[in-house]
Every structure is written in structure tokens, then in C-alpha cells.
């Protein structure tokens, strides 16, 4: 057994830790250490009176729920056609799922508000021109883009799934939605698209929260703590 040869099993989230326990590993060996991040010095400038700039960042895979996001924006546009927003899909546009996303964009006639600039290697290039980060993934083990969004002072709309609720304080640093309720997602998007003061409040709280709870220093301290203890954390 692998378990017999391990002293500690360090997981990036309580969601992952639960899966490890369910796999039969000894609970007393399992600990959680959230990843940390460095806060950038320069923050994005708000869009002002321009369309609210949304972004979904990362791999383009079914569990990331790009299709759900496109459907939600289609519903929102049909309900309130005067709302001004744009979406950037940050990620490679290759593969069958990406083709399905592009086809849905075409069917819903959202090509004028959805841009697919591709993959970026620098965080500044990703977040400097966004107002809201959308993270609708299912069973995301951790969700680094949520930390990055908060570090850049951006609010997040995230699924109440996986490790995301461990990073987003619902109503304080971002908005969580139920993955089985499309209207819940649409409502969360609508709130942040239409309320610049809410975006600003959640974004500022998010940066403060990330700096306090998800710093590199805290991660290192926590890692040292769990390696020096015998009990589960």
C-alpha cells in the first residue's frame, strides 16, 4: 500500500482532502495547505462607462463549463438587451469542446460580445483589462484563477463546487452560484455586470482576503506546521 510508505499527505484544498480520505488513506496523515500567491503591484483600471469586461481563464475543457457561461450570457442578453458587456475566453481554442463553444456562440449570435484571444503566459496581460473573472468549473480541485483574480482586485463569479467555496467569500469577495441552477448563474453575472460599486467593493475585499489568507508566506508557514505535526489538519 502506498499509504504505508507515507508520513503526510498534503492536499491543496479540503475538497481534495475529502477525496483522498474516501480513497482509503488514513485521515490522520492528511493535511490541507492552500496554495499561495504574490500580490501584483499594479491593478487593472476599471472600465468606467464602457461595457463590463468579463473573463474566463484556463483550459478549455467540458468541466470548465464554457458552454454554461455562453448559455447564461445568451439568456441575460435576451432578458436585458441594453446591458453592455464583453467576454474574453483566455485559453487555447483547439479541440472538439472549443469547437462546440464556438458553435454555440454562433447559434446565440454572441460573436459581437465574445472574444477569444487565445493563451497568455503573463498574468498582467490576462487580468489588466478585466472587470470580473468567471470561474464556473465543476469539481475544481483548487482554482488558481480565483486567487489571481482576487490578487488583482477583481471580483469573481464562481461555482459552488470543488475547492472554489474555500477561496470565495460569497457576497464579500465574489458571488457563488449553484451549478444545477442556470438562473442562479445568470443572476450572479447580472449583478456584477450592472453594479460597478459592487464590483469595486468585492474586488477590494478580495485583494485583502487573498493577501491575508493566501500569501506565499502563509503557505510556507502552514506547510512547515503540518510537516512537524502528527495529527490531521
Per-residue pLDDT band at 227 (split at 50, 70, 90): confident
**What confidence score (pLDDT) does residue 148 get?**
95
Class of 52-213 in CATH: alpha beta
All three cell numbers of 51: 461595457
Contact 159, 179 (CB under 8 A): yes
For 7, 8, 228, 230, the CA distances from 225, given in Å and listed in that order, are: 14, 12, 5, 10
**What confidence score (pLDDT) does residue 231 get?**
47
Sign of the torsion formed by the C-alpha atoms of 144, 35, 150 and 14? positive
Residues of the chain with CATH 3.40.50.2000: 52-213
Determine the average pLDDT of the residues in 166-174. Answer: 96
Among the listed residues 231, 210, 224, the one whose alpha carbon sits nearest the alpha carbon of residue 38: 210
The model's pTM is: 0.90
Between CA 60 and CA 66, with CA 61 as vertex, the angle to 5 degrees is 70
Among the listed residues 34, 4, 48, the one whose alpha carbon sits nearest the alpha carbon of residue 164: 34
CA 224 to chain centre: 27
Amino acid at each position: 500500500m502506498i499509504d504505508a510508505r507515507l508520513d503526510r499527505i498534503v492536499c491543496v484544498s479540503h475538497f481534495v482532502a475529502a477525496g483522498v480520505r474516501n480513497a482509503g488513506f488514513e485521515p490522520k496523515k492528511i493535511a490541507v495547505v492552500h496554495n499561495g500567491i504574490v500580490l501584483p503591484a499594479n491593478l487593472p483600471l476599471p472600465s468606467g462607462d464602457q461595457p463590463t469586461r468579463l473573463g474566463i481563464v484556463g483550459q478549455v475543457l467540458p468541466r470548465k463549463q464554457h458552454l454554461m457561461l455562453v448559455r447564461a450570457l445568451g439568456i441575460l442578453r435576451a432578458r436585458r438587451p441594453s446591458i453592455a458587456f464583453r467576454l474574453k475566453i483566455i485559453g487555447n481554442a483547439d479541440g472538439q469542446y472549443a469547437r462546440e463553444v464556438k458553435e454555440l456562440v454562433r447559434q446565440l449570435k454572441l460573436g459581437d460580445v465574445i472574444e477569444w484571444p487565445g493563451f497568455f503566459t503573463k498574468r498582467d496581460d490576462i487580468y489588466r483589462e478585466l472587470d470580473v473573472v468567471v470561474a464556473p468549473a465543476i469539481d475544481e480541485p483548487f482554482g488558481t484563477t480565483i486567487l489571481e483574480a482576487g490578487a488583482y482586485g477583481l471580483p469573481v463569479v464562481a461555482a459552488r463546487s470543488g475547492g472554489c467555496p474555500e477561496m470565495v467569500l460569497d457576497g464579500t469577495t465574489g458571488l457563488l452560484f449553484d451549478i444545477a441552477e442556470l438562473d442562479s448563474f445568470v443572476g450572479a453575472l447580472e449583478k456584477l455586470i450592472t453594479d460597478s460599486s459592487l464590483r469595486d467593493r468585492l474586488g477590494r475585499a478580495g485583494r485583502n482576503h487573498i493577501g491575508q489568507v493566501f500569501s506565499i508566506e502563509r503557505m510556507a508557514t502552514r506547510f512547515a506546521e503540518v510537516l512537524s505535526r502528527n495529527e490531521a489538519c
